[in-house]
Amino acid sequence: MSFQDFNFFGKRVLLRCDFNVPLDSQGKISDDFRLQRALSTIFFLRKAGAIIIIISHLGEPQDIKNKRKRKKQLTLKPIGQRLSCLLREKVLFSKKNKGRSVQRIVKKMKPGEILLLENLRFDKGEEQNSLKFAKQLGRLGDVFVNEAFSVCHRAHASMAALAQVLPCLAGPELDKEFNFLSQMLQNPPRPLVVLIGGNKTESKLQVIKRFLTIADYLLLAGEAANTILSAKGLWPSHSLLPAKEIEMVKEINLTDQKIYLPLDVLASCDQSGQGIIRQTGPAAVRLDEDIFDIGPETVNVYQEIIAQARAVFWAGPVGLFEVEAFSHGTREIALAIAKSQASLKLAGGGETVAALRKFNLTNDFSFISTGGGAMLNFLAGEKLPGLSALGLCHPEASSNEPKDLVV
């Protein structure tokens, strides 16, 4: 049964969202995009008369040894407060995510009311994919709705084990994300232009390898492009790059005419943008410099290719767009995609989303994926535990199995 056809009236819905939002140095939310993406689902459930119990994680609590500091820095309470403002509705908050105290709160809730539980990762059972922890969560609900595509590559209790405890449904946003990504791989309008930038080089190289069999044009920038330039001897800093990445490049046919690499770049010794900035070819970048943006010649070539596209996939900015001096490339590429006649425009990843929001271009894309790692893993053909639990396995997924349940 689909999400839209399910009768939610009076049902306790455990809604898994990804509210792992970026925080500034003061611990305040700096970008609430992921919260906004969940609003339509929450409104739907409220109108349907569901009792809504939202579960999420924030950060990596287990990396902070001091429990008091952990709870202070990574509590979801501020998330609940922002969510209340966005919904214009009171959102209850529980300092715990399991146990009798939470059960008592849920028992008193009425249809349409909303409760946010404390950070799931405060309990070790979440990241261990513990069936015991999943059953403790399951006691709070009648049905489980997964609306957190961006966490689906994690074999965690709220992704995998919980689907074994309760009847489970894919949320409408997750379902939309799955369908858009599947279309990009299986039946995209032609020509398909793929632009890969940003960091996370290892996962990006896997996606590049996959798209060589699918895309018509593959435009590269960022660390992935730098790694390939190094492997081809066109960037002198190759000795600083991980050997594993250089080995991965050897699996890619670098002579393929689909691949386009930066012709010119902006190089500097100072990432603040206050120092000397040189426009130069990659091979002329000095060892004391780093590449912080693509140059105007590369921008022009990429713009011309994007203008021909009928489908575009973009993952990762082409430069350090947060700094004005290095924002030109990313801004111009984003504008080129936004203005193109492509019928399918898909972008994704945290940095890409931040760039589009900065340049006010989010409404010019067919869909913006909230998933960084999950999106890249899916496009590389990997099996995502969260999707498998919902019966949404990619038709060409690998045989990698999710982490075993901890009973």
Binding-site members for substrate are 18-20, 34, 121, 154
Count of CA atoms in the C-beta half-sphere (13 A) of 173: 26
Annotated binding site: 18-20, 34, 121, 154, 204, 322, 349-352
Q: What angle do CA 192, 338, 382 make, to 5 degrees?
A: 45
The residues, ordered by sequence, that sit 6+ positions from 347 with a Cβ below 8 Å of its Cβ are 313, 314, 315, 337, 353, 356, 365, 367, 368, 369
- Secondary element (H or E) of residue 344: strand 344-348
Annotated binding site for ATP: 204, 322, 349-352
Amino acid at 304: E
Query: What does the alpha-carbon distance between residue 136 and residue 53 come to, in Å, rounded to a whole number?
Result: 14
Please name every residue paired with 16 in a beta bridge, in sequence order, or none if there are none: 55, 146
Burial of 86 (0-12, 13-18, 19+ CB in 10 A): middle
Amino acid at 240: L
Of 7, 3, 9, 105, nearest in space to 50 by CA: 9
Amino acid at 283: A
DSSP string computed for 284-298: G--TT-EEEEE-HHH
